[in-house]
Amino acid sequence: MQSFFEVLAYAIIAYMLFSSLSYLGFFLLAFGKVKREANLDRKESTEDLLGNQNTFPVSILVPAYNEEVGVTSTVRSLLSLEYPEKEIIVIDDGSKDKTSERMIEEFQMKEIPFAVRLHIESAEIKAIYQSSIFPYIRLIKKANGGKADALNAGINLSSYPYFCAIDGDSILENDGLLKTMKPIIESDGQVIVTGGSVRIANGCTISRSKVEAIDLPKSPIVLMQIVEYFRAFLIGRLALSHLNVLLIISGAFGVFNKERVIQAGGYNKDTVGEDMELVVRLHRLLREEKSKQRIEYIPDPVCWTEAPETLDVLKSQRIRWQRGLLETLWSHKKMMLNPKYGSVGLFSMPYFLFVELLGAVFEFVGYFLIIGGFAFSLIDPFTAGILFLVTIFYGSLISALAVLLEELTLHKYPKASHLMRLYFWALTETFWYRPLMVFWRVLGIFAAFRKGAHWGDMKRKGIST
Amino acid sequence: MSLHFFWILSLSLLLGQLVLLLALAWRKEKMSAKEQAITQQYEALIDSFSSYMLDPSDDRFLREIQNSTHKIVVLERLLNGYVAVTKGSVASPLVTKLSEDLLAAHYAKQLARKDWASRMNTLYYIEDFHITSLKPLLKERIDKSSILDQETQQLLRTLASLNEPATISVLARYPDAPVRLYTDVFQRLEEQTRMEELDAALRNEIQNNALKHAAVSYIGRAGLIAFLPRIEAELKTGEAEMRIQALKAILHMQYLTDPGLLLSFLQSQSWTERMYASRIAGKLQLSRFKEVLSVLLGDPVWWVRYSAAEALLQFSDGDILLTHLSADHPDRFARDMAAQWKSSLLGSET
Amino acid sequence: MKKVLVADDEDILRLLIVDTLEDDFEVEEAEDGKEALQKIRENDYDLIILDYMMPHLTGMEVLEEVRKDQNSTQVLMLTAKAQDADRESAIQKGANYFMSKPFSPMELLRLVGKITAS
């Protein structure tokens, strides 16, 4: 029996070393590009697009469920976005509070007769309003159907060829939309989806839905999430985008080509990871059509989001992400290791399965063996020692490195003390934060299996958690 | 592998990281001190700058900028702010004078630097401040370029903004140059140069199809109706890609002298041609094609069905037509597509 | 001398406007919407020049407040291209004149001269 655990321990050591090395490899792939572009004059590189008449108009969809507190300020901040042609569509997904009333009052909205094309099915639409101050702001009042359903209704009503979705708790930078659209515009529409990375707004000074001063939050839970974002974005996603095999990141900001999304059937109502599932479906569509179109990712952050501050909320977020990932991989299992789907099938799907999904299981077993080894001689203490060090290496040292690499390339936090704090918190990751995440991610996998049994009645609570 | 080995490995990695951390923290302190100094000088100079730009006889600014320790960056910011908010500033003799006197020599050096971002920024600024004296240097660089990377692309845009017609022939060397880039270049050239270059591209004496496609596409987007007869002539060419570009241009211009030309495209073997022809028929509301469009609603290709439905809706009775087709079309896909586009009119009773 | 308030958060533009108008008008400045509103409530101006987008309070919001106060001073709005679509609504809110950025300082001087003369 001991030799079984012994072998298991070495397998996990090998897994962690291999993952660490591939992280580093990924980063090297992307390093040149990020480093090079970090010093580019932000304004200059988008200035040209702003005055250009050929920029593609964009519909901004704002799904809202019980958001009476924040909905109007979200819309106000969208008004000031630098973008030549845009419309804003707020979708009240059957809120029980005064979400619609707030909108109607603030923007002097009037009910209008409006033809909705039923490109994608959605729950019943009750009324459509238009602002008499800003005619390009509209509001859809509909029966509750969940976020995916709300977005589908928004797509049906939208009149422009591209759309993006933004949550009530996210703040777009002024030039965020322009920067995200840039790859689409420059490729003449060959890029059909772009994703921009997200930054955590906690700790920053926010005034009237704009980030005015950048600072770090006090709470270690949020600090660790910042480190996590660094790690994921800098090391993983960038390189994946480089290879055009990016799936998508839960909660990131993305712009989509509307016709393609309609062709793919819109957002899937039966998964909690609707944005990721949609991107995978679009990848699948492109490969099946042998299209040259592609999906791209921009490293420069364009959007701020409020990260969970309490363990409870963080826990449910992680369980949801993990469930969404599993559901997505499951419903597209046909693509896994299938050469027909090119590098997405051969590379990205396995990466998401083994690193993003099952990685948690391996790490969980690793922690179990370390404790078992030291406390109950489950494995040779020597092996346990090596496993322990490799776990620290995989958790803390790689995360700390991510902090340094962020500073080397994008350096988005203004003070040296910010860098110090992030670095030293990153070093503590293996000892408290990572075990927690690993445990929740494993719970997420179980949750997905349990829910899988009664797929049909997976009624979503709404948009906000 | 021994435990020892892992200990040493981990500790040396940690040490290495700590050294890097200190170096980065030190760099950060230095950078923010510099940034502060620049902001201070900028704020100190902004007043005399604006006076000078309105009345050059008040030349306090010229003396003050010479004393600035970050004169280049500060001037760049001031000029950038100025050209962004004032019209006709490209031709402003003061912007020219300041940038030629104080920035041109520096930019010539910047362009030779190894750092990619500074070269790119320099190219942006040369365009913004219209520094004509650097034109020969830029031409020399573009002649040496061999791949169409981001830098070469910006080099082309900058040169085009200085009205250099050779940019088109340089661009034509790259057969897979994006149309977007041609558009950018055509747009920046002065009108007369632009028209001459478009005319030459359409005549296509140098047998460069990529250039010709780009020209057709630009004409469509810019809506240059004067070229319409020549675009229509291209509909009859044997080259497939050219026909598609011409259809796209017509869709953009929303104009067609002889709608009869469209019929063969609606019945073409190529689905792309069927799709564009459907879109044109809808945009121009060519009701004689209603029936063909109804047939195309059952096309095997999704894009054609989608475009046909969209086109049918452009007609005044489009909604009734689609309602009818969603029930009675012999093809199931056609019925689905019609239902998808059929509208449910909300709130019209109230 | 007629009294003009210039409210714009972009330093260079504000200073350019101030310098342009200074010789013919008594000019005061505000760096954001809040400051602008405060000055408008404390002083009597012949013309208010408001930038459309400013921190704290946007030009539109300042305009709304000004009209709520029953103040009918002429208002000239400075808009960027991206905001041209909002002109209609700005007129409804009570804006009297517009100028699209970028503009030349002389253009502005002419328009301001015309407005204040009538």
Q: What are B73-132's pLDDT values in tens digits?
A: 999 999 998 988 887 666 788 999 999 999 999 999 999 999 999 999 999 999 999 999
pLDDT reported for residue A185: 87
DSSP conformation letters of B13-29: HHHHHHHHHHHHHHHHH
* CB within 8 Å: A113 and B347: yes
Distance CA A215, CA A202 (A): 8
| Paired tokens of A455 | 């797929």
Q: Does A393 touch chain B (CB under 8 A)?
A: yes
Could you identify the residue written with the tokens 């179109």?
Answer: A293
| Paired tokens of C104 | 């030349």
What is the total count of domains within chain A? Answer: 1
In Å, how far is A389's CA from the nearest CA of chain B?
Answer: 7
Among candidates C58, C82, C89 on the partner chain, residue whose Cβ is nearest the Cβ of A83: C82
Q: What are A208-255's pLDDT values in tens digits?
A: 778 889 999 999 999 999 999 888 776 666 666 666 556 655 556 889
Question: Which of these, A166, A200, A160, A152, lies nearest to A184 by C-alpha position?
Answer: A160
* Other Cβ atoms within 10 Å of A72 Cβ, number: 18
Give me the helices (H) in C4-104, please. Answer: 11-21, 33-42, 59-68, 87-93
Domain-located, residue A451: no
- Residue from A52, A72, A82 whose CB has the most chain C CBs within 10 Å, to mutate: A82
Residue spans of the domains in chain B: they are 70-83+92-164, 165-257, 258-344
Q: Does B179 touch chain A (CB under 8 A)?
A: yes
pTM reported for the whole predicted model = 0.87
| Beta strand pairing call for A294-305 and A191-200 | parallel
Give the count of alpha carbons within 13 A of B291, CB side only: 2
Q: Low-confidence residues of chain B, pLDDT below 50?
A: 347-350
pLDDT reported for residue A457: 33
In Å, how far is A362's CA from the nearest CA of chain B?
Answer: 20
* Domain extent for C49: 3-117
CA distances from A280 to A153, A246, A329, B252 (A): 21, 9, 9, 32
- Collapse the DSSP code of B181 into the 3-class scheme (helix H, G, I; strand E, B; otherwise coil) and give the result: helix
* Domain extent for A241: 26-56+161-354
Its ipTM equals 0.85
In Å, how far is C64's CA from the nearest CA of chain B?
Answer: 25
* DSSP letter, residue A356: I
CATH number of the domain encompassing residue A178: 3.90.550
Among candidates A187, A415, A423 on the partner chain, residue whose Cβ is nearest the Cβ of B21: A423
Question: Which of these, B74, B177, A415, B53, lies nearest to C105 by C-alpha position?
Answer: B53
Q: Does B51 touch chain C (CB under 8 A)?
A: yes
CA distances from B217 to B153, B154, B182 (A): 18, 20, 9
For residue B322, which residues of chain A lie inside 8 Å, CB to CB? none
Instruction: Please name the helix (run of DSSP H) or strand (run of DSSP E) that holds residue A256, with its range, or none.
Output: strand A253-257
Distance CA B283, CA B310 (A): 9
Could you identify the residue written with the tokens 């923290």?
Answer: B25
Contact A355, A235 (CB under 8 A): no
* DSSP letter, residue A357: I
Among candidates A37, A43, A188 on the partner chain, residue whose Cβ is nearest the Cβ of B180: A188
For residue A40, which residues of chain B lie inside 8 Å, CB to CB? 117, 120-121
| Closest residue in A to B302 (Cα–Cα) | A263
What is the total count of domains within chain C? Answer: 1
Could you identify the residue written with the tokens 């037509």?
Answer: B321
In Å, how far is A277's CA from the nearest CA of chain B?
Answer: 21
Q: Name every residue whose Cβ is closer than 8 Å to that of residue C50 and which is 6 or more positions away in sequence.
A: C7, C36, C59, C62, C63, C75, C76, C77, C78, C95
Matching CATH number, B258-344, of 1.25.10.10, 3.40.50.300, 3.30.1330.10, 2.102.10.10:
1.25.10.10
In Å, how far is C11's CA from the nearest CA of chain B?
Answer: 8
CATH number of the domain encompassing residue C92: 3.40.50.2300
* Other Cβ atoms within 10 Å of A142 Cβ, number: 21
Domain-located, residue A373: no
- Residue from C10, C13, C14, C19 whose CB has the most chain B CBs within 10 Å, to mutate: C19
CA distances from C90 to A132, A425, C78 (A): 11, 50, 11
Question: Which of these, B77, B63, B80, B64, lies nearest to B35 by C-alpha position?
Answer: B77
Q: Does A292 touch chain B (CB under 8 A)?
A: no
* CB within 8 Å: B221 and A37: no
SS3 content of chain B, % helix, strand, coil (to 5): 75, 0, 25
In Å, how far is B45's CA from the nearest CA of chain C?
Answer: 10
Q: Could you tell me which chains touch chain C, where touching means 3 or more CB pairs under 8 A?
A: A, B
In Å, how far is C23's CA from the nearest CA of chain A?
Answer: 33
Domain-located, residue A415: no
pLDDT reported for residue A245: 56
| Paired tokens of A224 | 């660790």
pLDDT reported for residue A174: 86
pLDDT reported for residue A454: 39
For residue B24, which residues of chain A lie inside 8 Å, CB to CB? 404, 407-408, 419
Distance CA A416, CA A315 (A): 31
Question: Which of these, A23, A20, A25, lies nearest to A390 by C-alpha position?
Answer: A20
* Mean pLDDT per 10-residue interval, chain A, length 465 residues: 86 92 80 77 76 77 92 86 89 95 92 81 91 88 94 94 88 89 88 87 84 92 93 67 58 87 93 88 91 84 88 92 90 93 87 89 94 88 90 92 88 92 96 95 89 42 30
Side chain identity at residue A294, one-letter code:
R
* CB within 8 Å: A186 and B180: yes
Q: Does A136 touch chain C (CB under 8 A)?
A: yes
Q: Does B23 touch chain A (CB under 8 A)?
A: no
Chains A, C: CB contacts under 8 A, how many?
26
DSSP conformation letters of A381-420: HHHHHHHHHHHHIIIIIHHHHHHHHHHHHT--S--HHHHH
The b-or-e profile of C63-72 (16+ CB within 10 A means b, else e) is bbbbeeeeee
Could you identify the residue written with the tokens 């580093």?
Answer: A24
Q: Name every residue whose Cβ is closer than 8 Å to that of residue B120 and which is 6 or more positions away in sequence.
A: A40, A41, A45, B150, B151, B154
